[in-house]
Structure formats: C-alpha cells, structure tokens
Structure 1
Amino acid sequence: MFLVDGDIEGLGSPGGPRTDPATLLAVIVLARASRNALDGDTNDRCCAVNPLHGPATGRRHVRVSAQGNRRRMLSLCPLCLDAATAAPHELRERKLTLPGPAGTRVPYDEAEGIPLSALRDGINRLADKVRENAPAE
C-alpha cells in the first residue's frame, strides 16, 4: 500500500495515476511473498534473474557480466538453476529489464525509484527499504 499511496484501484483505471514499472514489480514481489508467508512458506528469496519467476529453490555462483570472470552467488528459481548448469551464458539474456532513460532497458535491480537492488538480500530487505522510503503521513 505504501508503494501505490494506498490506491490499489487507481492502478488499473484509465486516466488514473501512472505507476512506474519498478514500483509495480515491487508490489508484485511483495504481494506474492505475503501470500506465501500466509501459507506458511518462509522462503525469503526470489529468483535473482527475474523476480517474477517466483521463489528461489537454490543458489549458484553465476557470471554476472559479459566482460571478465566476475561471479556472484545468486538465488535462482528451478528454471534458472537448470540454465545456470546447462547454459550459464544465457542467464544474462534472461535477466528482467525495465524501461530506462531515453528508451533504453536496464536490469531491474539497477532501475531508478524503488530500491529493487535490496532483493539481493531477500524479500524482507526489500520490504524494509519500501518502509524507509515511504512518504510520511
């Protein structure tokens, strides 16, 4: 509710306020995590390649840049975990991107606005960042 100023109905109404893609992604991730928590699932990680893939089921060292050999331990969904083994070079192409400045696309965790980079530390950390950035009432 913090992310959409309490106006869930306004998200889908024609001519209503436009919500940026990073905020919508954060709303979806937090809503899914809340639903999972209500069902007893305490998994705090979602897929680092694309949070819309859902919960992470494992972690793997993955090359995060086309240049060099820099690797990072990432939480991955079953599909991306398999890809990390079979075709690790494809993970960079699978990474979710959002609209950026001047018609470019940027990785979701580097997008302006909502600090989606907090997802690297878990969904709870994203929720903390959202609370920190919420407008005072």
Structure 2
Amino acid sequence: MLLVDGDINSLRAPGAPAPDPTTLLAVIVLARSARNAIEGDTNNRCCGVNPLHGPSAGRRHVRVSAEGNRRRMLSLCTLCLDSAVAAPHELRERMLTLPGPAGTRVPYDEPEGSLLSVLGDGISRLVARVRETSPAD
C-alpha cells in the first residue's frame, strides 16, 4: 500500500499515470512474500535472476552478465539453481530486465539507489527501503 500511496484503486483509475515497472515489480514481490508468510513460509529471499520466479531454493555464484568474468552470489529458484549447474549461460537470458534510458533494457536490480537494488539482501530489506522512500502520513 505504501508503494501506491495507500490507494490500490489508483492503479486502475482512468487517466491516472501508470506506475513505473520498478514499482509494479516491487508490489508483486511484496504481495507474494506476504502471502507466503501468511502460509507459514519464512523464506526471506526470492530468485535473484528473476524475482517473479518465486522463492529462493539456494544460493550460488553465477555470471549474469556477458561482460567480463564477474560472478555474483545470488539466491536462485529451483529452475535457475538447476540451470546454474547444467547450463549456466542460460541465466543471462533469464535475467529480468526493465526499461532503461534511451530505450535500453537494464537488469531489474542494476540502477544504484533504485527500489529493487536491495532485493538481493532479502525481502525484509526491500520492505525497509519502501518505508524509507514512502512519503510520511
């Protein structure tokens, strides 16, 4: 609710500005994690390749960029964890990207200071970031 200024109906209001993709992704991740928590799942991490894949099944050093040999420790869903072993090159193709400057696409967590840049530290860190950036009531 903090991400949509307390008015979920504003997302559907005619003429209302469309929320940016980062906000929509954060809303989905937080809604899913809240639902999972209600069902007793206390997993604080989601897939670092694509948060829409769901909860993390484990962590692994992976290369998600075609540039250089840099690897990152990411939480991965079951599908991505299996791919990290069997076909690690596929993870680059699965990395969720969002619209960037000048029509480019950038990894969802790449822009420093963006709402989702903290998602790798866990969903609880995303919740804290949302609270930090939301206007005071």
Query: Smaller-chain TM-score range?
Result: over 0.9
What residue number does 1:68 align with?
Answer: 68
What residue number does 1:78 align with?
Answer: 78
CA-atom RMSD in angstroms: 1.5
Map of 1:31-70 to 2, 5 A cutoff?
Answer: 31-70=31-70
Please, which moves more after superposition, 78-87 or 10-19? 10-19
CA distance in 2, matches of 1:69, 1:112: 21
What residue number does 2:115 align with?
Answer: 115
TM-score relative to the length of structure 2: 0.93
TM-score relative to the length of structure 1: 0.93
Count of aligned pairs: 137
Gaps of 5+ in 1: none
User: Which amino acid is the alignment partner of residue 49 of structure 2?
Assistant: V
CA separation of 1:106/1:44 partners in 2, compared to 1, >3 Å: closer, same or farther? Answer: same
Percent of paired sites with the same residue: 75
Q: Over residues 82-129 of structure 1, what are the superposed CA-to-partner deviations in whole Å (9 max), with x where a residue is unaligned?
A: 111111111111100011112111110024874201111000000000
What residue number does 2:93 align with?
Answer: 93
Map of 1:19-34 to 2, 5 A cutoff?
Answer: 19-34=19-34
Give the secondary structure class of the aligned counterpart of 1:46: coil
Q: Over residues 59-94 of structure 1, what are the superposed CA-to-partner deviations in whole Å (9 max), with x where a residue is unaligned?
A: 111123323322121100011111111111111111
CA distance in 1, matches of 2:110, 2:71: 17
CA distance in 2, matches of 1:113, 1:23: 13
